[in-house]
Amino acid sequence: MSSTGNFRGYVAVIGLEIHAQLKTASKMFCGDSTEFEAGDNENTSPVSVGMPGTLPVVNAKAIEYSVKAGLALGCEIRKKSVFSRKNYFYPDLPKGYQISQYDEPLCEHGKVTFHLDGQNHSISITRAHMEEDAGKSIHHGEYTLINYNRSGMPLLEIVSGPDMRTPAEAAEYARTVRKILRYLDVCDGNLEEGSLRCDCNVSVRKSEQDEFGTKVEIKNVNSFRFVEKAIEFEIDRQIDAIERGEKILQETRLWDPDKNRTFAMRTKENAQDYRYFPEPDLLPVIITPEMIEKFRKDLPELPLDRAQRFMAENGLPEYDALVLTAEKEVADYFEATAKVAGNAKAASNWIMTELLRELNQAEKSIAQSPIKPQQLGQMVALIEKGTISGKIGKQVFQEMWQSGKNPEDIIKEKNLVQISDSSAIEKMIDEVLAANTQQVADYRGGRTKLFGFFVGAVMKASKGQANPDMVNKVLLEKLKG
């Protein structure tokens, strides 16, 4: 493993192809539902099973989502892009061709920036093009079963430049793309259900050598952790092969997560000869400057921009800002909480340590949180004002989590208001000192470590409600004698 990009005197060159399924209600070229949970071939029609004589009609929403994604990935949007046919025979592709884009893709020349190991990394986006998904084959040895529910699902294929040098950088790039797509709400980014898929292109070359080595494509990588592991394995495998004097074959390999290694896929003869040509059943896609402006206005603030704003406006440390902006919903929650709380860092602490932990344990999303941002904000404000202590805050937080009640109501009901009345505190301290005369004598004799013991006793006597700052101050005075 290397975080610097030097692997036994070799440099790795990594590029990613990410297939993002667009979050439309219907398919790319017909009205079939895109619902994931559906019976066998339930979401199909003559178009998606490739019946002769059927014609594709473009889904306007898929175009909108693709343009938005392209803009957010810093791409230029082609005013006129063209669908092409990619021809190959496979039973899950009923027409004998996939409608894709080839020499005139919708989006080109973009850039994605993210933060890793204290540095900004910029990865170029070569292109992002629209295409339709194929169906699903279920192999049974003697025969194969085909489900076309996925056939015709709208995809955006995002192709990075060969810019990455370490497995960690590649995984972080993929996470960033997912985050951006989720912020835009154009893809749900669910890797298990296959609505985001990652193919990794990996090659290695000697550090002093300029030209690229032969690249190998890894498919079937369905988590970001596996992106990292698969590339790590592949770099080692290729270096081992070269060191043994073997040649690297240009091939497609499959990642096997159980065995932690990649395997060569059976190579199809002449597989790369797709004979692309412009799809005669579809007109070119014309995107006007007005459309681009309209979509650009709709774009939300993107994760890295938002993290930087949290640092600048709210004074959050970088770590907090990155954690809170990982999901748009969490960032929204934080902003709403901080506004009410009046102390952004305190709001951030409560969300990051308490709330996210509870949500995680309960396997809930932040939208399902029983504590609403206003409520958490009010609680933080009550701590800020001194109405309750931070320690009592934890108790109130638990009550809120269980009951969903407002913090003020909980404090009133349970009588948790912090005691800041100096005469009441003095009275409690006097009682504690009177009950522990030996310790008082010891303290005055020089055992100042006993101070903590007195604080604890007073806090216990007050059921945790005494204002700790005042307890400290008054105790110190009284112990002087």
Q: And the tokens for 458?
A: 């007073």
The vertex-92 CA angle with 130 and 222, nearest 5°, equals 65
Distance CA 39, CA 36 (A): 9
Candidate residues 2, 5, 82, 345; the one interacting with another protein per rule CB under 8 A:
82
Instruction: Figure out which of the listed residues 1, 3, 9, 42 binds another protein, where binding follows CB under 8 A.
Output: 42
Write the DSSP string, 247-291: PPP--EEEEETTTTEEEEPPPPTTTT----EE-TTS--EE--HHH
- What's the token pair of residue 480? 């002087």
* Distance of closest approach, residue 159 Cβ to another protein, in angstroms: 22
Of 192-221, binders to another protein (CB under 8 A) are none
Distance of CA 374 to the CA centre of its chain: 25
**Which positions from 265 to 284 touch another protein by CB under 8 A, shown as an x/- string?**
-x--xx--x-x--x----xx
**91 scored as a contact of another protein (CB under 8 A):** yes
Q: Is 57 in the site for another protein (CB under 8 A)?
A: yes
- Candidate ranges 32-40, 66-74, 239-247, 349-357; the one touching another protein (CB under 8 A): 32-40
Q: Judged by CB under 8 A, does residue 54 bind another protein? A: no
- CA 104/CA 275 separation, integer angstroms: 15
**Interface positions, 126-165, toward another protein (CB under 8 A):** 137-148
Compute the least distance from the CB of residue 83 to another protein, in Å.
9
Interatomic CA distance for residues 59 and 31, integer angstroms: 8
Of residues 417 through 476, those in contact with another protein by CB under 8 A are: none
* 26 in contact with another protein (CB under 8 A): yes
Contact pattern from residue 225 through residue 264 relative to another protein, giving x for each residue in contact according to CB under 8 A and a dash for the rest: ----------------------------------------
* Residues recorded for the chain: 481
Residue 72 to residue 230: CA distance in whole angstroms: 28
Contact status: 24 vs another protein (CB under 8 A): yes
Phi, psi for 267 (deg, rounded to 5): -80, 130
Among 89, 192, 446, 480, binds another protein (CB under 8 A): 89
Provide the mask over 94-133, with x wherever binding to another protein is found by CB under 8 A and - wherever it is not: ----------------------------------------
Nearer Cβ to another protein (138/312): 138
Q: What is the DSSP string of 321-384?
A: HHHHTSSHHHHHHHHHHHHHHS-HHHHHHIIIIIIHHHHHHHT--GGG-SS-HHHHHHHHHHHH
Radius of gyration of the chain (CA): 30
Give 23 or 179: the residue with its C-beta nearer to another protein: 23
End-to-end CA distance of the chain: 63
* Residue 298 interacting with another protein (CB under 8 A): no
Q: Please identify which residue in 2, 54, 87, 406 interacts with another protein, judged by CB under 8 A.
A: 87
Burial of 256 (0-12, 13-18, 19+ CB in 10 A): middle
Least separation in angstroms between residue 104's CB and another protein is 8
- Binding residues for another protein, per CB under 8 A? 24-26, 30-33, 39-42, 44-46, 49, 57-63, 82, 87, 89-91, 137-148, 266, 269-270, 273, 275, 278, 283-286
